[in-house]
């Protein structure tokens, strides 16, 4: 099956969305019991953490942790937004810099200005988008970012999207006083699919869509540690409490170039492998043996692969033992934990 397809269905009773590219599962969102990123709370400052410059907050869904606080006193109310998923037993990661994100627009109450995605390079289109932004937002002091999906959207749809996000932002930002409360729920998998997978695709939302495309069988393979690579090599991806360990194996290939080929295949496949498993945090890759001179080629391939990945990933570099380290945002709940 060639092309892009978006499947909207349920998995084990949970709302789920799957992106298929040329017949292969490329991305997956599954609803979890934890508060989703994007959830907005009116929280109460609880106690500061000395030495870390942060503060624990109280929310209706348990403790949260806010970094880099200034002028915040215990007992004070503050609006915060969930930025990712927490590890078991740890507080929710939140930020006071709240974003209202939709398919075409991101409203930024704390960062004024009108900005357009750099991927939109046509000057006439950029001018048209700025006119739409100024017309809708008028004298608002809120900031706005127009996303790359605006390039192929109708002006009326963009204007309506901005208006809806502006209205929501004004309502929420004016509601900062009071008891602890969840003000806005994070987006569900179906909404995230509509918001993030904006490239042209066939949308299939008929009941049983996952069964028709054997999504359950693919997810069973994803939940295992083994991940096959093109060319016969494979990865073993094993989360521990401290980090995610990735072991690269050449498989049956015993040629002199086997290590280089397996490592390059790993570089191209690693973003998808981590994305489908919902894994983040510290990641250590134990590469197959290869000459030191080939490290630059591996880094180039890895950087290119992560450039199109939606989750923020910092490529930290090599360790003295020859491992490669990454730091990836915990923007998703690990799939294995969600489907327990």
Both 244 and 152 in one domain: the answer is: no
pLDDT of residue 71: 79
Backbone φ, ψ for residue 96 (5° rounding):
-90, -10
Per residue in 52-73, pLDDT (tens digit) is 778 999 999 999 999 877 778 8
Question: What does the alpha-carbon distance between residue 146 and residue 148 come to, in Å, rounded to a whole number?
Answer: 7
pLDDT for the residue 187:
96
pLDDT in tens, 217-229: 899 889 899 999 9
The 10s digit of each residue's pLDDT in 288-306 is 999 999 999 999 999 999 9
Domain limits for position 243: 223-338
Q: Name residue, tokens 């809120």.
A: 142
Tell me, what's the pLDDT at 319?
Answer: 96
Q: Is residue 273 one of the residues assigned to a domain?
A: yes
Assess contact for 143 and 133: CB atoms under 8 A. no
- Judged by DSSP in three states, 25 sits in strand
**Residue 73: count of CB within 10 angstroms of its CB:** 9
Instruction: Assess whether 139 and 87 both reside in one domain.
Output: no
302 part of a folded domain: yes
Query: pLDDT tens-digit profile of 5-37?
Result: 999 999 989 999 999 999 899 999 999 999 999
Could you tell me if residue 166 is inside a domain? yes
Same domain, 45 and 56: yes
Q: Are residues 322 and 249 in the same domain?
A: yes
Q: What are phi and psi for residue 280, nearest 5 degrees?
A: -150, -165
| CA distances in angstroms from 279 to 2, 9, 91, 174, listed in the order given | 28, 22, 18, 36
* Greater model confidence, 105 or 252: 105
For the record, the structure tokens of 8 come out as 């909207």
Distance from the first to the final alpha carbon of the chain: 31
Residues 50 and 142 in one domain: no
Residue pair 257/296 in contact by the 8 Å Cβ criterion: no
Q: Based on the fold, state whether residues 51 and 123 are members of the same structural domain.
A: no
In what helix (H) or strand (E) does residue 336 lie, and over which residues does it extend? helix 335-338
The CATH number given to whatever domain includes residue 309 is 3.40.630
pLDDT given for residue 1 in this prediction: 64
- At residue 324, the pLDDT reads 98
Mean pLDDT confidence for 236-250: 95
The size of the chain, in residues, is 340
Distance CA 35, CA 31 (A): 10
Residue 170 lies in a domain: yes
Task: Give me 58's structure tokens.
Answer: 């109280």
In a domain, 11, yes or no: no
Place of tokens 């048209």: 128
Q: How confident is the model at residue 86 (pLDDT cuts 50, 70, 90)?
A: confident
Residue 139, number of CB atoms within 10 A of its CB: 5
- Percent of residues, the chain, with pLDDT higher than 70: 99
Average pLDDT over residues 320-339: 93
**110 and 126: one domain?**
yes
The Cα angle at residue 141 between residues 135 and 143, in degrees rounded to 5: 75
Q: Are 116 and 163 members of one domain?
A: yes
Same domain, yes or no, for 233 and 322? yes
Structural domains counted in the chain: 3
Together in a domain, 125 and 231 = no
Give Rg (Cα) of the chain: 22
CATH of the domain at 63: 2.40.50.140
Return the exposure string of 196-223: e unless at least 16 CB atoms fall within 10 Å of the residue's CB, then b.
bbbeebeebeeeebbeebebeebbeebe
pLDDT for the residue numbered 329: 92
The answer to whether residues 58 and 158 belong to one domain is no
Q: Judge if 60 and 111 occupy the same domain.
A: no
Q: What is the pLDDT of residues 136-158, one digit of tens each?
A: 998 899 999 999 999 999 999 99
Whether the pLDDT of residue 89 is over 90: the answer is: no
Interval 225-244 mean pLDDT: 94
Report the chain's mean pLDDT, rounded to a whole number. 93
């Amino acid at each position: 099956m060639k092309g892009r397809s978006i499947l909207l269905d349920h998995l084990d009773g949970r709302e789920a969305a799957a992106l298929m590219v040329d017949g292969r599962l490329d991305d997956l969102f599954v609803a979890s019991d934890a508060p989703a990123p994007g959830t907005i709370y009116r929280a109460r400052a609880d106690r500061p953490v000395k030495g870390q410059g942060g503060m624990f907050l109280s929310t209706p869904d348990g403790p949260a942790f806010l970094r880099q606080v200034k002028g915040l006193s215990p007992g004070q109310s503050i609006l915060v937004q969930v930025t990712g998923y927490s590890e078991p037993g740890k507080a929710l990661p939140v930020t006071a810099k709240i974003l209202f994100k939709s398919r075409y627009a991101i409203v930024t109450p704390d960062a004024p200005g009108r900005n357009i995605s750099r991927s939109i390079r046509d000057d006439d289109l950029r001018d048209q988008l700025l006119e739409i932004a100024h017309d809708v937002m008028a004298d608002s002091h809120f900031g706005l970012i127009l996303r790359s999906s605006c390039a192929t959207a109708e002006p009326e749809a963009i204007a309506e999207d901005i208006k809806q996000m502006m209205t929501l932002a004004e309502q929420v930002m004016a509601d900062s006083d009071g008891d602890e409360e969840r003000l806005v729920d994070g987006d569900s998998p179906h909404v995230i699919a509509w918001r993030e997978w904006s490239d042209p695709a066939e949308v299939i939302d008929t009941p049983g869509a996952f069964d028709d495309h054997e999504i359950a069988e693919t997810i069973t393979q994803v939940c295992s540690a083994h991940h096959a690579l093109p060319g016969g090599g494979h990865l073993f991806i094993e989360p521990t409490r401290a980090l995610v360990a990735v072991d690269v194996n050449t498989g049956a290939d015993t040629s002199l170039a086997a290590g280089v080929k397996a490592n390059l295949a790993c570089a191209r496949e690693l973003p998808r492998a981590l994305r489908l498993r919902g894994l983040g945090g510290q990641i250590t890759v134990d590469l197959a043996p290869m000459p030191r001179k080939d490290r630059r080629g591996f880094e180039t391939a890895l950087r290119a692969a992560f450039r199109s990945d939606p989750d923020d990933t910092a490529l930290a570099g090599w360790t003295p033992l020859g491992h490669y380290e990454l730091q990836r945002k915990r923007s998703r709940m690990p799939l294995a934990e969600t489907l327990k």
